[in-house]
Chain A
Amino acid sequence: MNREAYRKAFDAIPFSPDFRDRTTELLRDRLREQEKEEHSMHVGKTKKLAVLIAAAIALLAVSVSAVMLWLSPAQVAERLEDPVLAAAFDSEDAVLLEETAQVGDYTVTLAGLVSGQDLSKAPAEYNGQLVSDRTYAVFTLTCTDGEPLEELPDGLSYSPLVSGYHVSAVNAWTLGATCQSFVQDGVAYYLFDTRNLEMFADHTVYFAIYEGGVPDPATFPTAEDGTISLAEDMEGALFTLPLNESKADPAAARAFVEGTGLEFIG
């Protein structure tokens, strides 16, 4: 097989000639609906969500992705009785991601994240110290085959990792991470929080969801350029977090890593 034969095969696929026009119009209709919704001052949050869903269903000839029906990161925080954090997820500082990946039989969606000082009514304690400058991430798990989840899956771990730093030195355990979770309507929701990751923002910062325990180099090999990957035989996903590079604090990052005493282990 050569590249020319390959391209010829794909160029011969008969897509609809009006696909672009139809799709552009579909998206514009969708945007008009959204604009109308955003200008409506008297529609409550729940009602607004219902209208958006109805509009999306009306516009989609195909089945609607269940993601549109899931709780937003702010709603997850509200469900966990943290209105302060819910407000943070609704603020302009929050980043909505909606990136998905497959982990074994599950579809994982990293929904959003927000970082900063005093964003939660209950900052975490680590080694006897309150650490209120934190990063919060919401992600969901669903069964890929469409079956509703009835309980939280076993055996999965969640951890930030940072390129250029040893996976044993910078991970959920050293960063004092915590995680709250619940199942609702067949979807498992997780609110993960950790020491603020923005100090590492001049590196690639990953969020790993995987089957296993404390990160080690066998599970997460590091290339010569510092890039971290998941070992081929492991089930898991590595998301890249879009942190604001201007908020990097290399001195704080270095001090943190040195403080772990684990940066040189092999």
Chain B
Amino acid sequence: MALTGAQDDASRLVETYSPMLLRLACTRLETPADAEDVVQEVFLKLLTARPAFRDEEHEKAWLIRTTLHRAADLKKAAARRNVPLEEALLASAPEPEDRLLAAVRALPEKYGAVIHLHYYEGYSLKEIGKLLGLPAATVGTRLARGRERLRQSLKEEIE
């Protein structure tokens, strides 16, 4: 069956944004399966709500923000069910990569997103500001504070 424009658009969304959104969701969530559920929900929400975007940057910013909010919601729900979430994550993190992931997930929300968009996706402070709706100076402050918290967290883990 021939694909409609909207169905082509669905493929484009998934191909273009899935890898970035999955990794971003993993800055808040413990398991890849939870991240996959969140990203599917975000794509479905986009189809249901049909927001109007000015351009692709606006679309990307909406997807990033919605993913972060939904992942944070899920993390809070998990925390209510299992209070010592961060402790459990850190305790079950023997490999350096796992320790780093656990430390990123333990960061406050406002630092985790900025750290990830800068370190993994390579966005500048100004670009992150546009994506998250923050002034570049605030992004810079959050990046510095997040980095310091990560440094302390990883140092304590090693010591």
CB of B69 within 8 A of CB of A100, answer yes
Which of A5, A6, A102 has most chain B Cβ within 10 Å?
A6
Interface of A, secondary structure class, is mixed
CB of A1 within 8 A of CB of B35, answer no
Chain B positions within 8 Å of A10 at CB level: 23, 26, 101, 116, 120
Number of A-B contacts (CB under 8 A): 149
Interface residues of A in 161-193 (CB under 8 A from B): none
A80 part of interface (Cβ distance < 8 Å): no
Contact-residue size bin, chain B (C-beta under 8 Å from the other chain): 35 or more
Q: How far is the CA of A95 from the CA of B14 in the complex (A)?
A: 24
A8 part of interface (Cβ distance < 8 Å): yes
CB of B22 within 8 A of CB of A52, answer no
Q: How far is the CB of B99 from chain A (nearest CB, A)?
A: 9
CB of A1 within 8 A of CB of B134, answer no
Q: How many A residues face the partner with a CB closer than 8 A?
A: 54
Interface residues of B in 1-58 (CB under 8 A from A): 3-4, 6-7, 10-11, 13-15, 18, 22-23, 26, 32-33, 35-41, 43-45, 47-54, 58
Q: How far is the CB of B11 from chain A (nearest CB, A)?
A: 5
B76 part of interface (Cβ distance < 8 Å): yes
On whether A229 and B135 interact (CB within 8 A), knowing A23-B18, A65-B70, the answer reads yes
B72-97 vs A, Cβ < 8 Å mask (1 yes, 0 no): 11001100100000000000000011
CB of A31 within 8 A of CB of B6, answer yes
Q: How far is the CB of A50 from chain B (nearest CB, A)?
A: 14
CB of B32 within 8 A of CB of A15, answer yes
CB of B138 within 8 A of CB of A229, answer yes
A41 part of interface (Cβ distance < 8 Å): no
Q: How far is the CB of A244 from chain B (nearest CB, A)?
A: 9
Partner of A97, one of B4, B14, B52, B96: B52
Chain A positions within 8 Å of B96 at CB level: 5, 9
CB of B133 within 8 A of CB of A14, answer no
A203 part of interface (Cβ distance < 8 Å): no
Partner of B43, one of A6, A27, A64, A144: A27
Chain A positions within 8 Å of B39 at CB level: 23
A16 part of interface (Cβ distance < 8 Å): yes
CB of A242 within 8 A of CB of B10, answer no
Q: How far is the CA of A15 from the CA of B25 in the complex (A)?
A: 12
CB of B72 within 8 A of CB of A35, answer no
Interface of B, secondary structure class, is helix
CB of B41 within 8 A of CB of A223, answer no
CB of B44 within 8 A of CB of A26, answer yes
Q: How far is the CA of A30 from the CA of B26 in the complex (A)?
A: 25
Q: How far is the CA of A14 from the CA of B101 in the complex (A)?
A: 13
On whether A31 and B7 interact (CB within 8 A), knowing A13-B101, A95-B52, A146-B77, the answer reads yes
B123 part of interface (Cβ distance < 8 Å): no
B124-153 vs A, Cβ < 8 Å mask (1 yes, 0 no): 000000000111111001000001001100
Q: How far is the CB of B20 from chain A (nearest CB, A)?
A: 10
Partner of B41, one of A28, A60, A98, A240: A60
CB of A1 within 8 A of CB of B100, answer yes
Of all A-B residue pairs in the complex, the 8 with the closest CB atoms, nearest first, are A98-B49, A27-B10, A9-B97, A62-B37, A6-B119, A9-B100, A229-B135, A95-B52
Can you list 18 A-B contacts (CB < 8 A)?
A1-B150, A5-B100, A7-B119, A9-B100, A10-B116, A20-B14, A27-B13, A28-B3, A28-B7, A30-B48, A31-B7, A62-B41, A67-B49, A96-B49, A99-B65, A144-B73, A145-B80, A223-B135
